[in-house]
Structure 1
């Protein structure tokens, strides 16, 4: 069996001091691989899109498999740290909560079945329009809307994406698409983007080329991760440099609709408050919350995480990726927080690479602006609870 320090150095790249003991883990996760969300892909290109067996937005068998790999890895880590036993955990030691979408519920169940095989672990979920995970605007005041629109427009105006637009235009043969023929809008680089009105109870949205690009590139990524043959992934038109060029479009889209701190905090507030209650009032040893990329993107902005880049990935919130909050106790009775982003690389996801303590997923230490860390990436738990009081 791996020793404590070796295990943590393998898992998180930095050794945790030997006298530190893991007390609790809270995980905020994105669901795993799904079919494309949009049913209108055919309108964006005259080229034939590959067939999916699943309904739009549904988790695929590959997504179930990949989540199982991550779950098996987490199970071994938690057991080796002594946080959870080998075999079934106690009833109140594990809590799993998922959004009501099929892809989130099935991802959560896939995690539970692999991490805790043969154990009666319930996946909890709320009503159809679960406010914890719904990425909706809450503040309905004119002052709020005005500030948000100004921030979003400022981000939109700062984008310089012509080379990315031109690349996607050529891949799609966009000038021969139904969108071009019907709407007479045929140039992704010069057609106008429009920020739509901010409405309480609805998602922030942008109309125009940026939204179309996000829809299309999302489909490309799901084709790639799901294991479609390379000629069927963006019709074989992509390599690493082209992936990077196109990913700037999805990053730009997400920055426009989610990068305003005031908007992100408003959208994520129900989730932040839900997690605040877990951190402060609950003693569950392992908690898993299964949501969407919108949840993670608004959460990290609303909570004021420092900017980060995930190595070996094109996304800020990769499929199946998990923000892992760890509470550690030292020999003096002092508690500390450490946060990692644990995720699959593009190759690990594409190949379905088996994970182990010696061949772990990718990881990245995350930092909060208001919770200063030491050289090992720890901030004090008291500092963390203090910043939570602002929510």
Structure 2
């Protein structure tokens, strides 16, 4: 397929209207024909999975209770998760076809880059998204051999190692000064989880352990004690999303999406205190953000003249990652969202951070739309077909004061938006990178 297919007249562009904008004074425009969508980069979380093996062991130990049995190995994408990701890919493919970015049928493989983290759940999710977006085309994602990819596992690799003192200082600031004070504030939520997960007459250790800040052999930090409650909330959400019988979800204590989210307060706390620390996020995702930035600049006056580590110039780049990666990117951008029944800044299965580049027809100027899109918990649980009347959640990000509200969503001048994308990239946390 030649490039002209991707720049054909844009049809029904209003189908990608956003859900919610960051409140601010914005210029107004209504014409969807005034802009051409010419490049998209999206970073998606994997789909529904069971607990990882280490999390299963931890939760069994702290609750002294048998947790639900899943039909796939620990941590792997489930069949339900695959189907939900296919649907998200199908919907997203329809949106991009209506916008004119991708053609009907199968595009030339050279016009697409689909790359995933090397874990089974991310590789399988990438395949599901491709199967949904390009049915029958036989596209397959690329991924590195082994267990570490500098895009997705930078926080475990030496080139992006943390300065322990800087990391601890950031964590303690987020905690409000001390681990002990934070645990005291969150005791009601620990008590709530204890009542949900522990049998009344059992000798249940959960909630009795003092939180302690710990550094592992790879230089990553965690808060022991908090981790169990954080993982518990995430597992309850996965149980609900998987479609387990309601008497099995959170041991029968979460019969709606709202009730599930009420059990995820410690899940959010874990991200607030450990992942969403600006210094830690910058070290952990500068490599990924840099590749996103390089891709978005290509074909514009902002394009780098250096060729090393520059990704292929393609209209559509699909990256499939983990919630940790997206939380780092969110923190680096300063992007916050609240969607439906989810807790603030939550990253559900197949939740996607999207970067859409538009060219204004009249002026030739480039604009960037940054947003986060995710299916609702019930859409995932019930495998709802997505449509104009059953859309996923969508939140747009105002990356500068000069963004404009359009029928396409919130469009921000590319130069200003790229400054926001680039501002927290740490050049000392980069390494030469080539896509497979």
State TM-score, norm by structure 1.
0.88
1:7 partnered with 2:15: yes
**Helix, strand or coil: the match of 1:196?**
strand
Distance 1:39 1:135, change over 3 A: farther
What is the Cα deviation at residue 356 of structure 1? 2.0
What is the Cα deviation at residue 359 of structure 1? 2.4
1:223 partnered with 2:239: yes
What whole-Å deviation, never above 9, does each CA across 1:34-66 have from its counterpart, x for those lacking one?
111123132232443211111110000000100
**Helix, strand or coil: the match of 2:34?**
coil
Distance 1:386 1:140, change over 3 A: closer
The residue number in structure 2 matching 1:361 is 392
Which one of 375, 381, 402 corresponds to residue 350 of structure 1?
381
The residue number in structure 2 matching 1:151 is 170
What is the Cα deviation at residue 3 of structure 1? 6.0
The residue number in structure 1 matching 2:97 is 79
The residue number in structure 1 matching 2:76 is 58
Distance 1:8 1:171, change over 3 A: closer
What is the Cα deviation at residue 345 of structure 1? 0.8
Which one of 330, 336, 341 corresponds to residue 307 of structure 1?
336
Distance 1:43 1:135, change over 3 A: farther
1:19 partnered with 2:34: yes
1:213 partnered with 2:244: no
For residues 1-391 of structure 1, the aligned pairs below 5 Å read 4=12, 6-9=14-17, 12=19, 17-37=32-52, 38-40=55-57, 41-128=59-146, 129-134=148-153, 136=155, 138=159, 140=161, 144-156=163-175, 157=178, 159=182, 160-173=185-198, 180=204, 186=205, 188=207, 191-197=209-215, 201-208=218-225, 210-239=226-255, 242-281=259-298, 282-302=312-332, 304-314=333-343, 316-331=346-361, 332-368=363-399, 372-376=402-406, 377-390=410-423, 391=425
What is the Cα deviation at residue 242 of structure 1? 4.2
Distance 1:326 1:42, change over 3 A: same
- Partner Cα separation in structure 2 for residue 374 and residue 96 of structure 1: 30
Distance 1:249 1:366, change over 3 A: same
- Partner Cα separation in structure 2 for residue 135 and residue 353 of structure 1: 35
Q: 2:117–2:143: 8 Å Cα contact kept in structure 1?
A: yes
What is the Cα deviation at residue 325 of structure 1? 0.7
Q: 2:47–2:81: 8 Å Cα contact kept in structure 1?
A: yes
Unaligned runs of 5+ in 1: 181-185
- Partner Cα separation in structure 2 for residue 135 and residue 195 of structure 1: 21
What is the Cα deviation at residue 95 of structure 1? 0.9
Q: 2:154–2:285: 8 Å Cα contact kept in structure 1?
A: yes
The residue number in structure 2 matching 1:183 is none
- Partner Cα separation in structure 1 for residue 16 and residue 341 of structure 2: 21
- Which piece of structure 1 moves more, 370-379 or 31-40? 370-379
- Partner Cα separation in structure 2 for residue 49 and residue 134 of structure 1: 29
Distance 1:96 1:177, change over 3 A: farther
Q: 2:368–2:417: 8 Å Cα contact kept in structure 1?
A: yes
- Partner Cα separation in structure 2 for residue 121 and residue 171 of structure 1: 44
Unaligned runs of 5+ in 2: 1-9, 22-29, 299-311, 426-436
What whole-Å deviation, never above 9, does each CA across 1:210-248 have from its counterpart, x for those lacking one?
111112222211111100000011111125564343221
Distance 1:176 1:219, change over 3 A: farther
- Partner Cα separation in structure 2 for residue 107 and residue 187 of structure 1: 33
What is the Cα deviation at residue 4 of structure 1? 2.2
What is the root-mean-square deviation in Å for CA atoms of aligned residues? 2.5
- Which piece of structure 1 moves more, 65-74 or 274-283? 274-283
- Partner Cα separation in structure 2 for residue 236 and residue 363 of structure 1: 30
